[in-house]
Structure 1
Amino acid sequence: MQKEDLDLFKKWFLDYVNRFSSPEAFIKENIQLKIEHTARVRENILLLAKTEKVREEGCRLAEAIALFHDLGRFEQFMKYRTFKDSESENHALLGVKILENIGILSRLPLREKDLILKAVEYHNLMEIPGCPGNSREFLLYSKLIRDADKLDILKLVSEDYAREEKSRNPALEFDFPDTPGCSEKVVADILNNRMVKLTDVRNRNDIKLLRLSWIFDINFQATLALLKQHGYLDTILSSMQETEEVQIIRKHLKSCLNAFETEIRA
């Protein structure tokens, strides 16, 4: 990808998201949240790509993926007033549809266009599909966007949990109720090193644990280092009532982080 391609995409993106301006505070706040999220995911993916020694042209491709990864979120929130895919539509597939309908990627070689579309489509799946056509190059970029995205969502929710209750953004927790305890299935998944499914989430504690379970899908040593540096996992756990169950989960997750760091280094 050439620099002029990426410059065009950045300009088009800003023009596109400006269509979703609204005087309503709730919509305005969450549209702006996704604009800022996209900017930080671009920063994250470039940091990770450079750490992985990706060349300059490849870094531009990675940044384009980050720019477009949540494109569907804007139309989704304006139409449904939620970021919860199960109560609206899959935002990744919606983003792919928008990109294909507008044809903004048609200026690129077919390989780059397909790679961007597939990376956007797969970025929010529980795992990257093991399809025969998924090349090593595609797997690299898919892992980069998944890590870059998770890093910023963990940052966002950690900051949200650190605020006073009255100023928190309910859209970040998909409007789940603030009831006590955690679902047995959710806890079992974490203690068995599995990512939690949104369909098993019943309350705000569960959605916190779902995000903590993302450590089981971290791909790069730099991502783990940033998680530790910023203390996102500790912040999320500290926002939960200090029960014996939470203590067990904290100990398990810290043990897993240390094990994963050793594994990735090897």
Structure 2
Amino acid sequence: MIDIAHAKQEFEKYLDEYDREDEQIRLKIVHTYGVVKYAGEIARRMDCSGEDVELAELIGLLHDIGRFEQIREFHSFEPGTMNHAVYGAELLFGEKKLIRRFVEDDRFDELIDAAIHRHSDFKLEGIHDARTLFHAKLIRDADKLDNCRVKLEESIEAMLGASAEKAGEGLISPKVWESCLRRESVVSADRRIPLDYWVSYLAQYYDINFPETCEIIDEENYITRVAERITYKEQDTREKIRILTEDLKRYLEMPAVSVKE
């Protein structure tokens, strides 16, 4: 049995080990609870069982537990500093078995471990158990949904390490734009300037798994709102952003989005 209220209480105690006044820590705390909310909402829209709703929310609560140590040690979200997903899974299921602080029932350990370990993989591959694959997809969708909110509400400086004005400068790097044209997420190593990072935040929505997630993106008008938060200085960039946002909207309307095996 999963007691999500107990898990949240323990998560709050865990957070007491970190500086809640740090902007990056605060951003990730708010993000965590946003992912919990969206994970539950997607699962309920899909008429999942109560157990799967709670499981989705628990995975959402713990998916970024590795981020807090990454921020404390490196003051960065960059994947080159730490693989936060792998670190978080090891923290929960390795020698310390921190998972037992959050849930006593060990029946779901392999599923939770896989979903957290793989939630930030460039592509989700190699999971063969149907229920595990479902939850691995669900956490990725919920993560991306709250990232829409993050991109609209949080400071550009905290996300990009550059001002909003600086983020709108320059041209999209060729490799980043090629990924967009292929309807793929952007490889981290291909991002060169703040603008590339912002474009990659949009391109990640080519990796949505469920129509229920697409519905929420459409209801909130997230694609247009995220794209328009930055003022782009170059005409070429403005045109490419227009092409990207229009194509993303078409892509998210496609029935095929719902069945990514």
Match of 2:122 in 1: 126
Aligned 8 A contact 1:69 1:123 in 2: yes
Return closer, same or farther for 1:247/1:104 CA change in 2, 3 Å cut-off.
closer
- Please list the CA deviations of residues 141-163 of structure 1 after superposition, one character each: whole Å capped at 9, or x if unmatched: 01110000000011111234xxx
Match of 1:18 in 2: 16
Corresponding residue to 1:207 among 175, 197, 217 = 197
Aligned 8 A contact 1:83 1:174 in 2: no
Identity %: 29
Any gaps of 5 or more consecutive residues in structure 1? 161-167
Return closer, same or farther for 1:172/1:187 CA change in 2, 3 Å cut-off.
same
Corresponding residue to 1:78 among 52, 62, 72 = 72
Match of 1:172 in 2: 159
Distance 1:219 1:139 in 2: 11
- 1:235, distance to aligned residue in structure 2 (A): 1.9
- 1:2, distance to aligned residue in structure 2 (A): 3.3
Match of 1:189 in 2: 179
Return closer, same or farther for 1:109/1:225 CA change in 2, 3 Å cut-off.
same
Q: Note if 1:248 corresponds to 2:243.
A: yes
Aligned 8 A contact 1:2 1:60 in 2: yes
Letter in 2 for 1:19: E
Corresponding residue to 2:86 among 88, 93, 99 = 93
Return closer, same or farther for 1:97/1:263 CA change in 2, 3 Å cut-off.
closer
- 1:83, distance to aligned residue in structure 2 (A): 0.9
Aligned 8 A contact 1:147 1:218 in 2: yes
- 1:33, distance to aligned residue in structure 2 (A): 1.3
Letter in 2 for 1:90: N
* TM-score after normalising by structure 2: 0.87
Any gaps of 5 or more consecutive residues in structure 2? none
- 1:251, distance to aligned residue in structure 2 (A): 2.8
Distance 1:240 1:193 in 2: 23
Match of 2:57 in 1: 63
Return closer, same or farther for 1:7/1:235 CA change in 2, 3 Å cut-off.
closer
RMSD: 2.2
- Please list the CA deviations of residues 91-112 of structure 1 after superposition, one character each: whole Å capped at 9, or x if unmatched: 1111112113432334655440
Distance 2:73 2:213 in 1: 33
Match of 1:158 in 2: 152
Three-state SS of the structure 2 residue aligned to 1:19 is coil
Three-state SS of the structure 2 residue aligned to 1:205 is helix
What number of residue pairs does the alignment pair up? Answer: 248
* TM-score after normalising by structure 1: 0.85
Aligned 8 A contact 1:72 1:91 in 2: yes
- 1:216, distance to aligned residue in structure 2 (A): 1.5
